[in-house]
Amino acid sequence: EQHALAGGFDALRPALPPATSGEDHMRVVPFQTISWYPRITYYPGFVDKARAEHIIALAKRHMSPSSLAYRPGESIPETQEVRTSSGTFLSREMDKDGVLTWLEDRIAAVTPLPVEN
């Protein structure tokens, strides 16, 4: 992400005064729409390598085998290997270094959807 003033854009189109929940600067985020159907958007350099590795390391510490949802009364013997994947859900509270907060804020800025979504 680059602030708009890096390219002189700020001089041509200064940022408007922000509302209480807004920002006081413009953003320039390069992207490419690869496809509209299905919608695929590419953001080059969206996350740097160090932050990506931090998130991967954090996720590895919380990984657990995936489970299956069954209909009421339905079950599969525990000895049967039906699911071999694992996964986790991460939240910003789990990351004392603030990398997940940084990423959620960045996603919110380009979508533009609030972090709560």
Report pLDDT digits (tens) over 63-108: 988 777 777 877 766 666 666 788 899 999 999 999 999 999 999 8
Tokens read off for 86: 């694992």
With beta carbons less than 8 A apart as the criterion, state whether 54 and 99 touch. yes
pTM over 0.75: no
Our measurement of the distance from residue 80's CA atom to the centroid of its chain's CA atoms, rounded to an integer in Å, reads: 35
How distant, in Å, are the alpha carbons of 62, 92, 96, 101, 105 from that of 54?
Answer: 13, 13, 11, 12, 16
pLDDT in tens, 40-63: 999 999 999 999 999 999 999 999
